[in-house]
Structure 1
Amino acid sequence: MRTASRFILVLIFLGVVLGGIFGYKFYEFGQMQEQFSQPQPPAIISVTDATTESWQPSIKAVGSVEAINGIEVANEVPGVIESINFESGDAVQSGDILIRLDAAIDEAALRTRRAEAQLAEQEFKRVSDLLPRRAVSQSQYDESKANFDAAQARVNEAEAQLNKKVIRAPFDGNLGIRMVDQGEYIATGTSIVEINMLHPIYVDYTLSEKYLPNVERGFPVAVTVAAVPDQQFEGKVSAINTSVNPETRTVRMRATLDNEDGKLRPGMFATILTGQPTNNEVVTLPRTAISYNTYGNFVFVVEENDKGELVVSRRSVTTGEVRNGRTAVLSGLESGETVVAKGLLRLRAGQRVEIQDKSEQEASE
Structure 2
Amino acid sequence: MAKKIIYPLLAVIGIAVASGAAWWYQSKPKGTQEVNGVPAAAASAPVAGARAGSESASRPAGVEVARVEKISLRDDAQSVGSLRSRQSVMLRPEIPGRVKTLGFRDGAPVRKGQLLVQLDDTLQQAELKQALAQVSIAQASLKRNQELVAQNFVAQRVLEESLANLQVVEAQLALSQARLARMAIVAPFDGTVGIRNINLGDFVKDGADLVNLEDISSMYVDFRLPERYQGKLKPQQTVELALDAFPGRAFKARVDAIDPLLDANGRSVSVRALLPNTLGQPAQRDKPVGAATHAGAPVAKPGATGAVRGGTSGSAAPLRPGMFARVTTVFSVNNAALVVPEEAIVPQGGRQFVIKVVVPSALHVAPENLPPETKFVSLRQEVKLGVRRQGKVEITEGLSESQTVVVAGQQRLQKDGTPLRIVELGRPSPGAASLAGPTPTASAPAPAASR
Structure 1 length normalisation: TM-score? 0.61
Residue 248 to residue 56, structure 1, CA distance change in 2 (3 Å)? same
Say which of 279, 296, 301 aligns to 2:334: 279
What is the DSSP-based 3-state SS (H/G/I as helix, E as strand, rest coil) of the residue aligned with 1:197?
A: strand
Is 1:166 equivalent to 2:221 in the alignment? no
1:246 is displaced (CA, Å) by 2.2
Contact between 2:76 and 2:332, CA under 8 Å: does it hold in 1? no
Is 1:188 equivalent to 2:206 in the alignment? yes
1:56 is displaced (CA, Å) by 3.4
Match runs of 1:196-211 below 5 Å: 196-211=214-229
| Identical columns (%) | 30
Aligned to 1:116: 134
Contact between 2:107 and 2:193, CA under 8 Å: does it hold in 1? yes
What is the DSSP-based 3-state SS (H/G/I as helix, E as strand, rest coil) of the residue aligned with 1:58?
A: strand
Q: How far apart are the structure 2 equivalents of 1:257 and 1:134? A: 74
Contact between 1:200 and 1:256, CA under 8 Å: does it hold in 2? yes
Q: How far apart are the structure 2 equivalents of 1:230 and 1:121? A: 72
Q: How far apart are the structure 1 equivalents of 2:149 and 2:84? A: 64
Contact between 2:111 and 2:190, CA under 8 Å: does it hold in 1? yes
Is 1:256 equivalent to 2:274 in the alignment? yes
Cα-Cα RMSD: 2.0
Is 1:268 equivalent to 2:323 in the alignment? yes
Rg larger in 1 or in 2? 2
Aligned to 1:302: none
- Give per-residue Cα distances to partners, 1:97-118, cap 9 Å, x unaligned: 0011111111111111111110
Q: For 1:266, give the aligned amino acid.
A: P
Is 1:179 equivalent to 2:234 in the alignment? no
Aligned to 1:76: 94
Residue 93 to residue 214, structure 1, CA distance change in 2 (3 Å)? same
1:262 is displaced (CA, Å) by 2.0
What is the DSSP-based 3-state SS (H/G/I as helix, E as strand, rest coil) of the residue aligned with 1:199?
A: strand
Q: For 2:239, give the aligned amino acid.
A: V
Contact between 1:57 and 1:280, CA under 8 Å: does it hold in 2? no
Match runs of 1:7-18 below 5 Å: none
- Give per-residue Cα distances to partners, 1:144-178, cap 9 Å, x unaligned: 11111111111111111111111101111111111
Is 1:148 equivalent to 2:166 in the alignment? yes
Q: How far apart are the structure 2 equivalents of 1:276 and 1:234? A: 14
Match runs of 1:307-326 below 5 Å: none
1:229 is displaced (CA, Å) by 2.1
Q: For 1:105, give the aligned amino acid.
A: L
Aligned length: 235
1:279 is displaced (CA, Å) by 3.2
Q: How far apart are the structure 1 equivalents of 2:101 and 2:262? A: 49
1:281 is displaced (CA, Å) by 7.6
- Give per-residue Cα distances to partners, 1:231-269, cap 9 Å, x unaligned: 222111111111222222111111011115322222222
Aligned to 2:83: 65
Aligned to 1:348: none
- Give per-residue Cα distances to partners, 1:195-232, cap 9 Å, x unaligned: 11112211111111101122211110011221112222
Q: How far apart are the structure 1 equivalents of 2:73 and 2:249? A: 18
